[in-house]
Amino acid sequence: MSASTTQIKAYIQAADAVIREHAEEVTELDQAIGDGDHIANLKRGLAALDALAEELGRMDWSAAFQKIGMSLMSSVGGASGSLYGTFFLSMSKAMRDKDMNLPNLAEAFSQGVESVKQRGKADLGEKTMLDVLIPVANALRQAAQESWGLPQAIETVNRVAEAGCESTRDMIATKGRASFLGERARGHIDAGARTSQLMIGAIGDVVAKNSPSA
């Protein structure tokens, strides 16, 4: 897989469309165990990125990820803005002077996830977006190591993201507002995990449609 930043606008629009499509569902999840503002924050961040899309499409991947990270930190705000921003800033460092291909993406994504773990002081099994991001990072690494084709890589990433999202349903939260609910948080999917899964799936669909092998 090799890709240029010219597709960034399509990725942003796909992420925005899927978030808007599932806004009511995610808001209900967030109101059940969170602050209720997750969708509003995400929409604000994606709108800011859409305004930058043409500029991002003229950059290399490292510069584009840096710009995305800084934009999300300032536009989303709060804990989510810090985590999303940290993720993309770490990816920017990992992609410096590198082309976009599966091995480089796998490494950059993994570094981004590690930075989120450190910033959020969280790990797998704590009812956060990391329950999606960590399995996806592992799947991308496996895909790169075993030289999978793009269709297999995308299908596996989507499957592990969905399973990771669903796994949060029966977890007790240890981070954020949901951590105060104890057992009452069980039975609810984490909103951040759901939106991460939705956006990863939407971007994967765009990648698949624009791949010469698709």
Nearest to 181 by CA among 13, 28, 32, 14: 32
Does position 191 have pLDDT exceeding 80, yes or no?
yes
DSSP 175: S
Neighbouring residues of 15: CB distance < 8 A, sequence distance ≥ 6: 46, 199, 202, 203
Q: How far is CA 177 from the centre of its chain?
A: 21
Average pLDDT of span 197-214? 87
Q: Which structure tokens are listed for 62? A: 């490292």
Cβ contact 38:192 at 8 Å: yes
In tens, the pLDDT along 114-157 reads: 999 999 999 999 899 999 999 999 999 999 999 999 999 999 99
Does position 2 have pLDDT exceeding 50, yes or no?
no
Give percent above pLDDT 70 in the chain.
Answer: 90
Tally Cβ neighbours within 10 Å of residue 147.
Answer: 9
Domains along the chain with CATH numbers: 5-210 (1.25.40.340)
In tens, the pLDDT along 162-181 reads: 999 999 998 877 666 555 45
Confidence at residue 100, expressed as pLDDT on a 0 to 100 scale: 93
pLDDT averaged over the chain? 90
Confidence at residue 171, expressed as pLDDT on a 0 to 100 scale: 85
In this prediction, residue 1 has a pLDDT band, given cuts at 50, 70 and 90, of: very low
Does position 98 have pLDDT exceeding 80, yes or no?
yes
Confidence at residue 214, expressed as pLDDT on a 0 to 100 scale: 42
Q: How far, in Å, CA of 138 to CA of 130, rounded?
A: 12
Q: Which structure tokens are listed for 44? A: 């604000």
In this prediction, residue 30 has a pLDDT band, given cuts at 50, 70 and 90, of: confident
What secondary structure, in 3-state letters, does 98-140 show?
CCCCHHHHHHHHHHHHHHHHHHHCCCCCCCCCHHHHHHHHHHH
In tens, the pLDDT along 70-85 reads: 999 999 977 889 999 9
What secondary structure, in 3-state letters, does 10-75 show?
HHHHHHHHHHHHCHHHHHHHHHHHCCCCHHHHHHHHHHHHHHHHHHHCCCCHHHHHHHHHHHHHHH
Confidence at residue 77, expressed as pLDDT on a 0 to 100 scale: 74
Average pLDDT of span 85-105? 96
Q: How far, in Å, CA of 26 to CA of 189, rounded?
A: 9
* 109 to 23, 144, 180: CA distances (angstroms): 26, 12, 31
Cβ contact 42:6 at 8 Å: no
